[in-house]
Amino acid sequence: MAGDHSNHDNSNAATLQPCKPPSSKFDICRPRWRPLRQRERKSVRKKKELHRRKKEKVLLILNL
């Protein structure tokens, strides 16, 4: 069961958090964790967008 759960987390890593698991800094037990998680999500969204733009550029160059 634990293995299945970790696989699921890896597939959703981009939407939930960066590729590393939550460290003690982002401990779920602490009340300060949630705002940090929101900030993480924003940065993940930005990274995704940049990655998508890079892909589009590469595809355009390849198609020329």
- The length of the chain in residues reads 64
Amino acid found at 49: E
Structure tokens at 27: 């401990």
What's the rounded Cα separation, in Å, for the pair 60 and 64?
A: 6
Q: Which residue has the tokens 């293995």?
A: 3
The predicted pLDDT at position 38 comes to: 76
Residues 8-33 as b or e (16 or more Cβ within 10 Å = b):
eeeeeeeeebeeeeeeeebeeeeeee
* Confidence label for 58 from pLDDT (cuts 50, 70 and 90): very high
The predicted pLDDT at position 63 comes to: 80
**13-29 pLDDT tens trace:** 445 444 555 555 555 55
Mean pLDDT of the chain: 68
The predicted pLDDT at position 53 comes to: 95
**2-14 pLDDT tens trace:** 444 444 444 444 4
